[in-house]
Structure 1
Amino acid sequence: MKIDYHTHHARCGHAEGSLEDYVKRGIGIGLDHIGLSDHMPLIHVDPASYYPGMAMPMDELPRYVEEAFALKEKYKGVIEVRVGLEGDYIEGYEEEIERIVRGYPWDYVIGSVHFLGEWDITDYRQTDGWKSRDPMAVYEQYYDAVCKAAATGFYDVIGHIDVIKRFGVQPGGDVTHLEDMALAAAAKAGVAIELNASGLRMPCAEMFPSRRMLVKARELGIPVTLGSDAHQPERLGQYLDEAGAALKDAGYAQLATFEGRRRILVDF
């Protein structure tokens, strides 16, 4: 079973390629499942005055869903297309998030924390935000948000659970307790996490989550799915061989797949 459940396309403003480009690429590289999971529209900042190209405009959301489901039907029997969303968790905007999550017939929803307030900790244009903040306080705020995201019940998967390390900024002290707190929250909520391979091409040079967290997740019985977080069609499936090996090394023998918000575990 070869799957990639984390992808983005041109509609979000900072990726390339159409949805169909990704589906065709998935067929070309032999995927069994491809998950389309573009970013939820911005809901807590003004898109007109914020950093450009962060997410699809709100009026594009129904068009995205319509196109994705049309592709699911078009390629039925050739590749399994799953229609998803990377739905940011933003504390204080739970009602707005829930309307989007409940408002469409998603196959799955990834819950990711990118924003701490109006600061996107994953945006290379905003790395100066670290200069005025205590790294340990940022890590504490981030992992607290991950725990709250898991507890909402909005999400099927927690995305790149330790993405806070993306740019290589590390606090002076140990953060194992924060990482374990987030994993415990995921286990309690009964959600899966993803092994997001894109970290291998980031400054942190490590997948999300780390091997230690992945082993801990296995001990806690947390299901795992796989994603490349591709923003270009040619990166679809990137590093997923390494990710599969890491999963097996951590003791996993099954992957989480989804359809109609139902989790289905498959051997790999």
Structure 2
Amino acid sequence: MKIDYHTHHARCGHAVGSLEEYVIRGMEIGLAQIGLSDHMPLIHVNPATYLPEMAMPMDELPRYVEECLELKEKYKGRIDIRVGLEGDYIEGYEEDIERIIRAYPWDYVIGSVHFLGEWDITDFRQTAGWEGRDRMAVYEQYYDAVQKAAATGFYDYIGHIDVIKRFGYAPEGDVTHLENAALDAVKRHGLAIELNASGLRMPAAEMFPSARMLQYAYEQGIPATIGSDAHQPERLGQYLEEARALLKKVGYTQLATFDGRKRLLVDF
């Protein structure tokens, strides 16, 4: 079974292509399931004064869900569309996040940490935020947030769990204990993780998570799904063959899929 559960479209401001273009592309490349999973609207910064093109406006969220559901019905029998959300975890805003998640009939919600306060550690325009910081302290703050995200009960799986490495900023010391603690929290709270292939086209030059983390996740019995994190239709499915090969090398024989917030493991 070929799936891609992590996609973004034009509404989020920093991607291109319509939802339908992604669905059509998914059929062209032979996906059995496609997950539509755009970013949750910003809730902790003023979109009018923050950097542009960060996420969809709040008033677009219901339109996004409506269009996803319409496409799900339109293409029924041709490709299985799953309606998702990448729901940023932002410490201190749990009630706002929960309100958004509970308001719509998601098939799945990805728990991702992009923000440490108002600093988006995944935004290439904000890499100056690393200057003058203790990198180990940043890693500790990030992985602490991942553990807190896992504990909320809001999410079905954690997205790009080690995305903190995206731009190549790493502390001098070993962070294995931080990575393992985050995965232990995922296991403890019954979540899955994704193998996000997009890291191969970034300075990190490896998937999220690393092969070492993925091996540890497998040993702990943590289910995994996969996603390209495509921000343009032509990148749908990019590097997912490599992702599937890595999963098999580690020992995985099944992928996690989601329907109505219920997880189903399927052979691949």
Fold similarity call, TM over 0.5: yes
Q: Deviations over 1:150-191 (max 9, x none)?
A: 000000010000000000011010000000000000000100
**Displacement of 1:22 after TM fit?**
0.1
Q: Deviations over 1:190-232 (max 9, x none)?
A: 0010000000000000000000000000011000000000000
* Corresponding position: 1:35 with 2:43: no
Q: Output aligned runs, 1:39-188, within 5 Å.
A: 39-188=39-188
**Local SS of the residue matching 1:229:** coil
What stretches of structure 1 of length at least 5 have no aligned partner? none
**Displacement of 1:3 after TM fit?**
0.2
Aligned to 1:216: 216
Separation of aligned partners in 2, 1:132 and 1:105? 43
Separation of aligned partners in 1, 2:250 and 2:76? 33
AA partner of residue 72 (structure 1): K
What stretches of structure 2 of length at least 5 have no aligned partner? none
AA partner of residue 73 (structure 2): E
AA partner of residue 44 (structure 2): H
Aligned residue-pair number: 268
**Local SS of the residue matching 1:98:** helix
**Displacement of 1:8 after TM fit?**
0.1
What TM-score, normalized to structure 1? 1.00
AA partner of residue 116 (structure 2): L
Q: Deviations over 1:114-148 (max 9, x none)?
A: 00000000000000000021100000000000000
Separation of aligned partners in 2, 1:104 and 1:186? 24
Separation of aligned partners in 1, 2:130 and 2:22? 34
Aligned to 1:194: 194
**Local SS of the residue matching 1:39:** coil
AA partner of residue 73 (structure 1): E
Deviating beyond 4 angstroms after TM superposition, the runs of 4 or more aligned structure 1 residues are none
AA partner of residue 237 (structure 1): G
Separation of aligned partners in 2, 1:215 and 1:193? 12
Q: Output aligned runs, 1:256-267, within 5 Å.
A: 256-267=256-267
**Local SS of the residue matching 2:131:** helix
Aligned to 2:255: 255
**Local SS of the residue matching 2:179:** helix
What TM-score, normalized to structure 2? 1.00
Q: Deviations over 1:24-72 (max 9, x none)?
A: 0000000000000000000000000000000000000000000001000
Separation of aligned partners in 2, 1:258 and 1:132? 42
Separation of aligned partners in 2, 1:43 and 1:10? 19
Aligned to 2:229: 229
Separation of aligned partners in 1, 2:157 and 2:5? 10
**Local SS of the residue matching 2:207:** coil
Aligned to 2:207: 207
Separation of aligned partners in 2, 1:101 and 1:189? 18
AA partner of residue 140 (structure 1): E
Q: Deviations over 1:77-114 (max 9, x none)?
A: 00000000000000000000000011100000000000
Separation of aligned partners in 2, 1:135 and 1:76? 48
